Structure 1
Amino acid sequence: MADASVESAKRAAAIQAVADHFDPSASHVGIGSGTTIVYVVEAIKAKSTNPNIRFVPTGYQSRQVIVQAGLTPIAFDSLPEQVMLDVAFDGADEVDEDLNCIKGGGACLFQEKLVAERAKKFVCVADYRKKQSRLLTNWPTIPIEVAPIAVPTVLHSLRVLGSPSPKLRTTLLEKSGPLKTDQDFFIIDAPFPSLLIEADMASGKGKGDGSDGTWEVTKIAQAIKELTGVLEVGIFSGLNGVDAESVRAKSGGRTVVTGGQKPVAVYFGLQDGTVELRVAKA
């Protein structure tokens, strides 16, 4: 019964997100990974008859979903340099009240971040279990993609940063060894205390730089990303697509915006069949 409730919530959120943000005249659309995205593609297929749209997947699984729906995939590295995706739809493992996300439970975080940063807007679709006030409330760890040779060094560094027990993610069949990403890298899952947002630091709940045992979302993402051997961190924070485009426009295109990009909106499917919308604060 619970599983049916979750799947119904995912479908409701996907239908609403696509209704609000998918333009049938779009040229390029990003498609993320995970179970919720199946319903996003289903909703897009029902709404669009435009054969010219190219869909950019974030990994093998999402490419298969696109192909099976009869839509046309295009590899991320085949995009012309100046092309921005009209929109990218993706899920999340957890979302806080500032729309910061943890992603990487499905081990596709690197390509998910590439696609999100290339989109004019990233729209997140999730079920009610992912809705929290702070990251690392229910979802236990930060996923980190790491070069295999660097795993021991990164594990040690994460403990120095305050993670009590970072672990290398293995396959479901442990004797098969560590799980490999599409880049042939490994995933480390690092637990930390719940992450602060800027309002927490402003109200004196912690320094957020690790010196007092507290970390703010963007600061911990930056600290982990700076570790040698880390390819990417499963925290999506910083600017959203609309704000990032504004920054680029003001600089005449001379500013590179990084961070993984927060969504402009998050659609949470609820247990009663309704959809709750969280949008970027004005």
Structure 2
Amino acid sequence: MEIEFAPLQLLPMLVFGVLYWLRNRSLTSTPTWRKWCFYAGLVLMALTLSSPLAVLSEELFWAHMLEHLLIADLGALLIVLGLTGPVLAPLLRAVPWLRVFGHPVVALVAWTVNFYVWHLPALYQGAVSNDAVHALQHMLFVSFGIAMWMALLGPLPKPAWFGNGWKIGYILAIRMIGSVLANALLWSSAVLYPQYARGQAEHGISAANDQSAAGAIMMVEGSIVTILLFGWLFLKAARESEERQELQELAAARGVEMPADRIARAVSAGRGDALRERILSTAGLD
């Protein structure tokens, strides 16, 4: 079984993996599960780009779509789950403008533009026929995929209004944007990417069926990820509600004046433990 070797795409992963490992050597705060997520994301991308699927992606559109979903959606998601504020600190000091992608509107718009521009027939087929363009396509898909998930799950500061309700809307917006293309592929009778004609003929599949399969894969993958994210949001909301109540009761019991909105902001930002320590230290000074 033939496999692909794409050094232009695999080398950046190796570099980022080494940098992540070196950074965590000087940190003790990164949870083990986050490290596993980060490395799992890199491994998923590397295996996808060097597997028979990578070879098949040059012959069939549905395989190329599956490849992109694995690296730019699932792989990017795992990468973001592996990141923390301390891990990102050196990068953000060197490139401070990256913080803008913590804003959900910026991240969503950038991801959407990149997503649709690269699915224009001329660019998409150009990536299939040119290794350098293909590497650039994958790099941008992964980069903007990371930015898109970063605004939802990452450690960068987020707007105060971006609570759980808006996060549900953000997830739905992502899936609706993807569903427009998925439905176009699923039901269109026009051949959007004739570059695959030779591969489709060799594998005995029509262009229409190839495109429909790609659209169906997008719909199924998107539905599964959306259900999992909704489950995560539900559990997160329940945990945050319980943590807010505990902090309010602790502050009241220790005689520390602590506004409810401040507690809510701290919990939402994942800094509930730091606020708890502050309440206890403040109470100790009284």
For normalisation by structure 1, the TM-score amounts to 0.28
User: Which structure shows the bigger proportion of residues in strand conformation?
Assistant: 1
User: Which structure shows the bigger proportion of residues in helix conformation?
Assistant: 2
For normalisation by structure 2, the TM-score amounts to 0.28
